[in-house]
Amino acid sequence: MPVRLIESLTTTEPLANVFSDESLIEAMLGFECALARAQARLGVIPQAAAEAIEAAAGSGAIPGAELARETLRAGTPAIPLVKALIERVAARDAGAARFVHWGATSQDVADTALVLLLKRARALVATDHSRLQAALRELSERHRDTVMLGRTLLQPAPPVTFGLKAAGWLAATHRGWNRVEAAFTEALTVQFGGASGTLAALGDRGIQVGHALAEELGLTWPEAPWHAQRDRLGALVAACGVYTGSLGKMARDVVLLMQSEVGEAAEPGGAGRGGSSTMPHKRNPIGCTLTLAAAHRVPGLVGTYLSAMVQEHERGAGGWQAEWATIADVVQATGLAVASMAEVAGGVVVDAGRMRANIEATGGVIFAERVVMALAPTLGRDAAHRLLEEASRRSIAQRRRLVEILGEMPEVSRHLSADTLRDLDSPEGYLGVAEAFRRCLISSTE
C-alpha cells in the first residue's frame, strides 16, 4: 500500500502497510478466527463452527471505507466487523453464525488487533535499529582519533573526538531501544475479558480459553484483562518518546555540523535527495530533518496518550478512542526516525581537515582552561582565570594566537616556558580520557 501523501513525511512505507486498513481488518479477523479455533480445541464451540468462521473470514476483504463509516457511528470497529463476519458465516452455515465472537467484547477485538500490529511493527523498527547501531559503532571506531571542537551552548570549547561523539549517539540510542524493546515485550499481551472483564459468559472456562487464544496468536496471557488499565501501552509510547528524543539529538548535531559555516560532516546525498526547488547548490539534511520532525511530534502524542490513560471503571469513554491513532502515529514516527538516522549514519561524510581547521580558527582560546590549570598551582586558580580572561580578549581582538599573547605576559612567562606554551594548544594533548570514555560507551552496547 502506498503511503498517503499527507502522511509521507511521518512514516515509512513498510510501517504504513502495517497500520493500513487492510492490515487492521486482517488482524481483527485473525482474532476472531483464533478465538474460534481455541474454543473448538477446548470443546467450547463445535469444530464445524470454527471451520465455518475461518472460511468466512478468508472469503474476501471487508471494505475499509465502509467499515470506517460504520465505526464512526458505533464508536468501535469491532461492532460492524463482527456484524459483517456473522453475515458471512450465516451465508455458509446458519448454525455456526451464533458462535462468532463467542464470549468476547468489542475491546477484546480492537486491543488485540492493535497488539498484533505492534508485533509486526516491532520487527521492522528493530531491523533499522540494528542498522543504526552497526553504522554508529563503525563510525566511532573509524574516527576515534579525529579531533574536533567541543561545543557548549553552541560556542567553541576544548576539543573532543568525533569518535567520542558518535559513541555517545550509539550508547544513547542503545539505551533507548532497550527500553522500547522491553516495553514491546510487555505490551504484546492478548486482551480477552468479555463484557466486564470477568469472562462470565464462558463460566469457569474463561482462563483456559484465554490461554489457548494467546497461544494461537503468539501473544502472552496477562494476569487479568486490561480493558481500562493502559499502562503497558503507555510504557511503550513513553519509551518511544525517549528513544525518538535521542535520535533527534543526533540529528540536531549532524544538522549543525552540516552548516556551510561549520562544514565538518554531511549527510549522504543522491538523486532527488536534499535538493532545492530554487537553489541548485543546496544539499539539505533530509534524513535529519525527518527525524527532527518526528522528535517534535512524538512528545505531544505521548502527552495525548498519557492523558487518555485516565479511564473510567471497567471501560472508559473517550480514552480508548483517543489511543488507537495516537499509538499508530507514535510507532510510525519512531520508525521513520530510526530508519532515517540509520541511513544518515551509514553514509555520513566526515571532513577531518575542516574539523582541525575550525580548531585552528579559534586562535587557541579554547585551550584557556588548560593554561589556567597549568598556572593555578603557583598563581591560584582565581588569579589564573582572570589572567586568561584578559589574554583571551586580547587574542580575539588582535586576531593573534593565544600562546603568542601569553608569551608576552610576564605573569605567564615567569612560570611557563616557551616550549610549554607552544604545546598548550595541541588538541591531541588536551583530550583527557576521551578515548577511555569512548571505549566505555562502545562496551556498554555490546
Tell me the DSSP string of 286-350: HHHHHHHHHHHHHHHHHHHHHHHT---TTS-SSHHHHHHHHHHHHHHHHHHHHHHHHHHHHH-EE
Q: Which three cell numbers stand for residue 226?
A: 486490561
Catalytic residue among 315, 354, 400, 439: 315
Question: Is there a contact between 402 and 369 (Cβ–Cβ < 8 Å)?
Answer: no
Question: Is there a contact between 396 and 363 (Cβ–Cβ < 8 Å)?
Answer: yes
Crossing angle of the two packed helices 64-74 and 21-41, in degrees rounded to 10: 80
Q: Which three cell numbers stand for residue 94?
A: 446458519
Which residue type occupies 315? R
Backbone φ/ψ region at 108: left (φ over 0), alpha (ψ -120 to 50), beta = alpha
Question: Is there a contact between 175 and 248 (Cβ–Cβ < 8 Å)?
Answer: no
Question: Is there a contact between 322 and 290 (Cβ–Cβ < 8 Å)?
Answer: no
Give dist(CA 214, CA 221) in Å, integer.
Answer: 6
For 3, which DSSP code? Answer: P
Q: How many CB atoms are closer than 10 A to CB 307?
A: 11
Contacts of 335 (CB under 8 A, 6+ apart): 11, 12, 15, 121, 124, 125, 128
Residues written for the chain: 446
Tell me how far CA of residue 175 lies from CA of 151, 288, 395, in angstroms.
24, 20, 43
Tell me how far CA of residue 204 lies from CA of 116, 200, 214, 252, in angstroms.
27, 8, 17, 57
Give dist(CA 446, CA 442) in Å, integer.
Answer: 7
Q: Which three cell numbers stand for residue 104?
A: 468476547
Q: Is 444 a catalytic residue?
A: no
Catalytic residue among 130, 276, 413, 444: 276
Question: Is there a contact between 213 and 34 (Cβ–Cβ < 8 Å)?
Answer: yes
From first CA to last CA, the distance across the chain in angstroms is 37
Q: Is 276 a catalytic residue?
A: yes
Question: Is there a contact between 416 and 375 (Cβ–Cβ < 8 Å)?
Answer: yes
Q: Which residues are catalytic?
A: 276, 315
